[in-house]
Structures are given as structure tokens and as C-alpha cells.
């Protein structure tokens, strides 16, 4: 009788411990599946846009070779996340809104397209270039700010210089441009920043065009 009771108790104890173990396995399986299942992605991606293709280029500058760069970008903007200025000394890095490419790379690419269209030349050479590459003018810049704030005001602050083929500084300036976005959204901010980059490109193209035309006129006289 004792052996029977002991055997029965052993079987009951084993069954008692099997239930929680089984539940733990099931719970773990369900938990693992929930983690591995695809999660919804609420990210939104934005791009900078160049000036319109039908913008009139300078016929007199056709064939001009322009070296673009180096372009020094602030570290806080070297990212894909959209950065919004929240105060004089504070910014907010979005967890949902992103640039389709790092902002510094997009800035360089759109600037190159803008200058190509404004100066009517395909010879926009990104820095660095080979020493054997002929460059008529080089544009170097230090971007201090290129963002929008919580009120939807986009701001571009940049120090820049244009150098001739011999490395002599032709022009050295600072540009501080602002544009009001339609609203405080990232989409409206991207549009306003694109406008600022277009205006800045026009400023640079205007300087290069004037210098280039002036040199050609002096060469004919």
C-alpha cells in the first residue's frame, strides 16, 4: 500500500511541475513570435529639391569648370533624422521624420545641380578632385546652420569663398538667409530649406558669372 501511495504521489508531483513548465514554453513561444513579427514603420522620408530645370542658365558661362567643396557641415546635422531648432541652444532630433539621404550629402548634390543649371555648365566637380583636373573656380563653404525651427522658419547661415584657378580668393562672404515655411511640419520645412539652397546657389552663381564675364571682357580689350 505504501509503495502504491508513493508511486501515486510521485506521478501527481510530476504532473504538477509539468503544467507550469508547459505554460512557460507556450508563453515564451508566443512572446518570441510577437517580437519577430514585422512591426509597423511610421517613418516619413523627405528630400531637398533643386531649382527648376527650365531656369535660365548664363550662356556666357557655358563650359566653365567649377570645383564644389570642400563643404564643411556642422556635426549635429550629419545624420538622416530631421533636426528642428527648439531654442538658441537646443534642437530636437525626430524619431519618425528622416531625410532620404544624410543631409550633408543631399546639400552637396542639390547645390551641384543648381549651379549646373544656373551657370549652364555640366562641369561641376565635387571635392576632392584629381590634381590634373582643370578647375576655373573653386567654391568652399562652412555651413553654420541649415534647419527649421518650431515656428516653421527655415534658416541657412554659411561662410563661403570663391577662388580662381591659381587658388587666389576672388570673393569671401557670409550669407544669412531665412524663409517661412507654410507650417511647422517636416514636409514644409524641407520645401523651405530647398528654397534657401536655391537662393544661396543663385548668389554664388551670380558672383562666379560676374567675375568670369569681367575677365573675358578684360581679355578682349
Kindly tell me if the per-residue pLDDT of 184 is higher than 70: yes
Q: 158, 141 in Cβ contact below 8 A?
A: yes
Residues 122-145 have a mean pLDDT of 96
- What count of residues does the chain have? 221
pLDDT band at 132; cut points 50, 70, 90:
very high
Q: What is the pLDDT of residues 48-89, one digit of tens each?
A: 999 997 655 666 667 799 999 999 999 999 999 999 999 999
Q: Which triple of cell numbers denotes residue 203? A: 548668389
pLDDT band at 17; cut points 50, 70, 90:
very low
Q: What is the pLDDT of residues 149-181, one digit of tens each?
A: 999 999 999 999 999 999 999 999 999 999 999
Give the model's pLDDT for residue 211: 87
Q: 117, 206 in Cβ contact below 8 A?
A: no
Q: What is the pLDDT of residues 81-111, one digit of tens each?
A: 999 999 999 999 999 999 999 999 999 999 9
Q: Determine the Cα–Cα distance for residues 124 and 57; give it in Å rounded to an integer.
A: 14
pLDDT band at 20; cut points 50, 70, 90:
low
Q: Determine the Cα–Cα distance for residues 24 and 28; give it in Å rounded to an integer.
A: 6
Give the model's pLDDT for residue 36: 58
For cell 511610421, name the residue: 42
Torsion sign, CA atoms 206, 211, 214, 216: negative
Hey, which CATH number is domain 44-220, 3.90.1150.10, 3.40.50.10610, 3.40.50.10860, 3.40.50.300? 3.40.50.10610
Separation of CA 168 from chain center: 31
Amino acid at each position: 500500500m505504501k509503495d502504491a501511495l508513493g508511486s501515486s504521489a510521485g506521478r501527481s508531483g510530476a504532473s504538477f511541475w509539468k503544467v507550469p513548465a508547459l505554460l512557460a514554453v507556450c508563453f515564451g513561444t508566443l512572446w518570441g513570435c510577437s517580437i519577430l513579427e514585422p512591426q509597423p514603420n511610421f517613418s516619413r522620408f523627405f528630400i531637398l529639391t533643386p531649382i527648376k530645370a527650365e531656369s535660365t542658365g548664363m550662356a556666357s558661362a557655358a563650359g566653365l569648370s567649377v570645383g564644389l567643396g570642400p563643404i564643411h557641415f556642422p556635426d549635429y546635422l550629419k545624420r538622416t533624422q530631421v533636426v528642428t531648432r527648439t531654442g538658441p541652444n537646443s534642437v530636437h532630433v525626430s524619431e519618425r521624420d528622416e531625410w532620404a539621404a544624410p543631409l550633408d550629402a543631399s546639400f552637396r548634390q542639390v547645390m551641384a545641380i543648381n549651379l549646373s543649371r544656373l551657370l549652364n555648365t555640366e562641369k561641376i566637380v565635387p571635392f576632392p578632385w584629381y590634381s590634373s583636373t582643370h578647375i576655373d573656380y573653386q567654391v568652399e563653404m562652412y555651413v553654420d546652420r541649415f534647419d527649421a525651427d518650431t515656428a516653421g522658419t527655415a534658416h541657412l547661415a554659411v561662410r563661403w569663398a570663391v577662388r580662381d584657378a591659381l587658388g587666389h580668393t576672388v570673393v569671401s562672404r557670409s550669407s544669412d538667409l531665412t524663409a517661412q515655411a507654410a507650417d511647422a511640419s517636416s514636409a514644409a520645412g524641407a520645401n523651405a530649406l530647398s528654397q534657401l539652397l536655391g537662393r544661396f546657389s543663385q548668389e554664388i552663381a551670380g558672383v562666379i558669372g560676374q567675375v568670369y564675364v569681367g575677365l573675358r571682357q578684360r581679355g578682349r580689350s
